Each structure stands twice: as C-alpha cells, then as structure tokens.
C-alpha cells in the first residue's frame, strides 16, 4: 500500500480529496488542509468527483460516458512531466477522446500495428479517432 499526501476540502456533508501531491514537502508548502491516504483510494475519490462533475458527458467531446467507461486525462501537465492528479488538472473523457488527446504518443502496441500495416503496404486506419474531429487533418508518421 502506497501512501500519499492529499489536499482535502470540506463539503456540505463530508471531506473531498481534490489533489494528490508527489511529495510530503510539496504538500506542506501549500498551506492546504492535508491528509495521508492510500494512493489507489485517493485516485478513486478524485475519479468519482470528476464523474460527478461531468454529469455523464465526456468533457472533451460531449459524448455519453459512464463512470466505469470514462478515463481521467490531465489537461495541462501530464504526471510523467511533473503534473499532478487533481480536480483542476484533470477531465473525465471517453476512451476515444482520451486516445485522441494522446495521439502524439506512440505506444508499443501501436508501433507493432504500424509495422505490420506498413509491411503490407496499407496505412493505419483512423477508425479510432473521435467522430467530432473527423474533419481535422491527421498526420501519418
């Protein structure tokens, strides 16, 4: 079990986690109300809050999304680049929009698919691109 420092705010009936800090020193510098919490539980709470905020609509394209099918996406600064998991830095997205937002990445499974398709002389299909962005030009790499 990995414990993390979280920022909490007081709601009408309970306390709500709004941010997960990367370190104890970062948490204590903020002056926020803090708690120590299990990492997985903290992410689950923030994810649920994002679901409540989105009211069943992808915050990127507006399509229908359920709490179980939606995905957290960091808006400004991704965790791998020093960003944080927080209500301010995250949106609740449908899988297609989330994948589209990360189109500049080239995950291993996609590299394999691209290699197989280029060997056969075909271009990768754009069928996984969200429908609301079909008119945008998509670069082939």
The residues near 25 (Cβ < 8 Å, ≥ 6 apart) are: none
Task: Report CA Rg, the chain.
Answer: 18
The 10s digit of each residue's pLDDT in 16-65 is 899 999 888 889 898 899 999 999 999 999 999 999 999 999 999 999 99
The 10s digit of each residue's pLDDT in 123-141 is 444 444 444 444 344 444 4
What is the model's pTM? 0.68
């Amino acid at each position: 079990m990995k414990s993390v420092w979280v920022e909490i705010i007081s709601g009408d009936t309970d306390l709500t986690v709004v941010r997960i800090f990367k370190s104890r020193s970062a948490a204590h510098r903020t002056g926020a109300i803090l708690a120590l919490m299990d990492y997985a539980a903290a992410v689950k709470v923030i994810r649920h809050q994002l679901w409540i905020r989105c009211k069943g609509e992808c915050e990127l394209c507006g399509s229908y999304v359920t709490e179980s099918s939606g995905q957290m996406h960091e808006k400004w600064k991704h965790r791998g680049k020093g960003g944080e998991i927080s209500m301010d830095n995250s949106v609740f997205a449908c899988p297609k929009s989330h994948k589209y937002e990360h189109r500049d990445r080239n995950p291993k499974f996609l590299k394999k698919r691209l290699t197989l398709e280029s060997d056969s002389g075909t271009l990768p299909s754009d069928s996984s691109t969200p429908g609301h962005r079909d008119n945008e030009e998509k670069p082939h790499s």
